[in-house]
Structure 1
């Protein structure tokens, strides 16, 4: 299975805060590409070179759309609406061949072009393709090809059937569903193609999916089916034959998975070492995992100590009988926001954060409010963590990103989520997913005309999540003291992730220890603990450490600029500059700050 298609199975081309699509660091590019940008630093978008860069990116998008048109559609290329992914024979070989041919074209352009920013973007595209090639070959060599087809179909339909998508585009959902189910002329049901690709991939020495992954996803099939029916009903799109066919096919696919895939599933979640190392590089972690663990252990200790110092202040403010941080967090969770009031409460907090951002001159703001909504039951199943859905990235006509609060179904017992639906939690989560975090990050890139290469192909979890965690820190001093404590709790979680993900995957600890740390030290709910361990072990192995690592790298870039500029350092100018670079790999962002931002500020 190509890593490009594997990354898109959750149904979002970028899904930057859900699942990364073809993430890349420019320093992973071939030597001739990286040397071309060694002396170039990114600058804010200017029409000439950005337009030429976007032409090259368009070529890559169109090539990849031949294999996964849903991704191109979600990025904004309307000509691919209603078309379904290619799961035909030898998909990996064909994708690698197409990627190599496109690499050759981009390398020739790299030698021909003279603009340093354009050369930098070409290097990003070349590196993205190389990472796809490497990941596809590693995966095809080591893994059996199993596709979570029900989740993938729901994700793609959910992206197309959205209030911000034009009605004429939403109408294409019927064609897409008919292609998935084989009703459209000349098509084969996606479930049958997935079964065939699994059969093709079988060979001695390959490993199957983790049993826990199957145990998690198989019971969700009825939820995805119901979620798709609800979307078609919501937008009054009549497709009874295709919907009935989908229900039969996905139900039968689940039975096939139980009979065929489950017996071949592996009992250990640990990936082959080579594949786990690739996953770390893919999300932007470019240091050895042992070094990441060591940094995270120190960060965990320091953040826990800060929580111990702050908790008595919260207890004094609220008149609590005990002042240790576990007891204080437990007390704060009692201030639960009713489900029907969550959107209004979060909107209120987002408005207050914007007031602070303007007053303290933290970063420039768009002139419209954040879109925030609760996740549906099917969205909760597909992506349990709160997240931001990016806006249309190509040809945007006013579409905006959406902060989706997924908290799972409300429960009256102790097994459900209680981590985001209490008053003190709304502050740091709103800063992270809303403003000045992910929502603003993507809104500003679209508004400023950042090149498509830097939005779509320079993305990785380290640069995206590093920004969001950095913005949590920017807002923390301006939040009520109880909000500050929960912000530190979430910072503690990011350090725990950077410890536990590599430790679990390298066999340095066990699940019981990870659960204890998350439950007893970080103080998260049983449902949240399960979600976290699932993330480390099968949902996104390697990704969890990117928050802590990206945050640390961005803090270092910030402090280097502060020390270089002294009294001339301007926080708002710095933050605007960082967002204006797009999702550059952090090495190149540091170079841009050093070579462009600092000299410009000195000259003021």
Structure 2
């Protein structure tokens, strides 16, 4: 096989569940190996492919760049040993497994669930890198909630064994008495934490920016957003006082019902699909449906997320919405989230790339600065396209911008500068319109997934910069449809590689 095929095989063998989530066939019966020995073997396999990449002359430059970035990212994530102190959020292997089990066909791998869960338990039990004490408690509560449910249909004949393994994982979490305190929440408090975080920052942003540079970038973006809040607030409510605007956004403009929240998303996506041909030359060959997260999963599910269509197109892409507590949540985030997760965001991105003739390594690479950068780019593109129905919804766009800029500040604060969990919560409370439960959930996510939150705003700003330079260079010859087709049709690539691709396109005679 080619180097690209070999690396793709290694990546999917490392995380077969991700292959299924991306709609890639061939890994329906696997879960991967969480044991120290298993992950060491995975690391050695990937490291050997990276060595091969240094002298390879068969792959094109873009594919080679993707191979190197993806391989290095996996090696660094294995080295960071996150599986040993991630137990409370979606990034926890056990939480993630239980959350997606009802959304995917897991029938061919149910027999592997118990061993996988037991491996996760052993890694946490035997580690010198303890989770936060509060995360241990949260993990216990989530396992108890699962065990309190009657057996679900997806558990099949393996229900008893799966539940015994979950109970064992729960007991391991409950037995640990020396969890970390909230004032030592970040990687910098753990062995090799500074180097591990630097590696994760490089992999998630695909840039050479340091934590200090990213921290200052977040502060600058937050400051500029306050000017936009004042402008729209003056237009909508006759006030430019940002604290007053924040207060109104937190306490007013709430949903009347769960049904209203779902229907708003459906309408926004329909508008985007109608307008998209003016901005994209290539349309996805598969549609996007909106679905509510099942009730039994709402307490542990994200507020919204996208699930790509499978390779055989047996179902459309799916935009999942969590209606839990809808009447206490701001409706201003409805449209911006739909544009990011669905159309023209992740749905176009994943669907169009998967329909190209690119190698699987390029179609399904998971480079978050590109993927999430595109999602954020489309939030602002939607305004350019005239998709927002009101200034109220544009304030929602600013609200998500502030959250992502705030991530640059608090992620680096936690993991590089030793911030406490409370410091991070206070910063988001003072500088975003997020509700208290949302802030707490986000901060706990950043603690357990160091560096990932940096990818969003870094990616968006870089895509905007690349587009602006192409517009300046091409002038009247700039075609926004061709630009978007090029960006999404190239598959996920490092940001520096995307810059090279667009520069070559703009320089072509």
Q: 2:170 aligns with which of 235, 251, 254?
A: 254
Equivalent residue, structure 2, for 1:338: 257
Q: CA deviation at 1:80?
A: 3.2
Tell me how far apart the structure 2 counterparts of residues 592 and 156 of structure 1 sit (CA, whole Å): 35
Q: CA deviation at 1:146?
A: 7.0
Tell me how far apart the structure 2 counterparts of residues 447 and 264 of structure 1 sit (CA, whole Å): 47
Q: 1:439 aligns with which of 343, 347, 361?
A: 347
Q: Which has the larger radius of gyration?
A: 1
Provide closer, same or farther for how the CA distance between residues 56 and 400 of structure 1 changes in structure 2, counting only shifts above 3 A: farther
Q: 1:473 aligns with which of 352, 361, 380?
A: 380
| Residues 269-288 of structure 1 mapped to structure 2, 5 A cutoff | 269-271=185-187, 272-284=193-205, 285-288=207-210
Tell me how far apart the structure 2 counterparts of residues 97 and 483 of structure 1 sit (CA, whole Å): 49
Equivalent residue, structure 1, for 2:190: none
Q: Secondary structure at the match of 2:81?
A: helix
Q: CA deviation at 1:346?
A: 1.1
| Residues 312-351 of structure 1 mapped to structure 2, 5 A cutoff | 312-315=234-237, 324-330=244-250, 332-334=252-254, 336-351=255-270
Q: 1:190 aligns with which of 116, 140, 143?
A: 116
Tell me how far apart the structure 2 counterparts of residues 56 and 467 of structure 1 sit (CA, whole Å): 27
Q: What TM-score, normalized by structure 1, do the two folds share?
A: 0.74
Q: Secondary structure at the match of 2:444?
A: helix
Equivalent residue, structure 2, for 1:456: 364
Tell me how far apart the structure 2 counterparts of residues 386 and 444 of structure 1 sit (CA, whole Å): 21
Tell me how far apart the structure 1 counterparts of residues 224 and 203 of structure 2 sit (CA, whole Å): 28
Q: Are 1:519 and 2:439 counterparts?
A: no
Q: Secondary structure at the match of 2:291?
A: strand
**Tell me, which stretches of 5 or more residues in structure 1 are unaligned?**
1-51, 162-172, 182-188, 412-416
Contact in 2 for aligned 1:308/1:324 (Cα 8 Å): no
Q: 1:305 aligns with which of 227, 239, 243?
A: 227
Tell me how far apart the structure 1 counterparts of residues 150 and 202 of structure 2 sit (CA, whole Å): 35
Contact in 2 for aligned 1:403/1:434 (Cα 8 Å): yes
Tell me how far apart the structure 2 counterparts of residues 443 and 65 of structure 1 sit (CA, whole Å): 19
Residues 343-386 of structure 1, C-alpha deviations (whole Å, 9 max, x = no match): 2221112112233334x535643365421112234544444242
Q: 1:356 aligns with which of 270, 275, 281?
A: 275
Residues 318-351 of structure 1, C-alpha deviations (whole Å, 9 max, x = no match): x9xx9942244246423x1411333222111211
Q: Are 1:59 and 2:6 counterparts?
A: yes
State the number of aligned residues. Answer: 495
**Tell me, which stretches of 5 or more residues in structure 2 are unaligned?**
188-192
Contact in 1 for aligned 2:72/2:203 (Cα 8 Å): no
Q: Secondary structure at the match of 1:90?
A: helix
Residues 240-284 of structure 1, C-alpha deviations (whole Å, 9 max, x = no match): xx213322331232122211x343556521112122212212212
Contact in 1 for aligned 2:121/2:168 (Cα 8 Å): no
The Cα RMSD (Å) is 3.2
Q: Are 1:365 and 2:283 counterparts?
A: yes
Tell me how far apart the structure 1 counterparts of residues 252 and 282 of structure 2 sit (CA, whole Å): 32
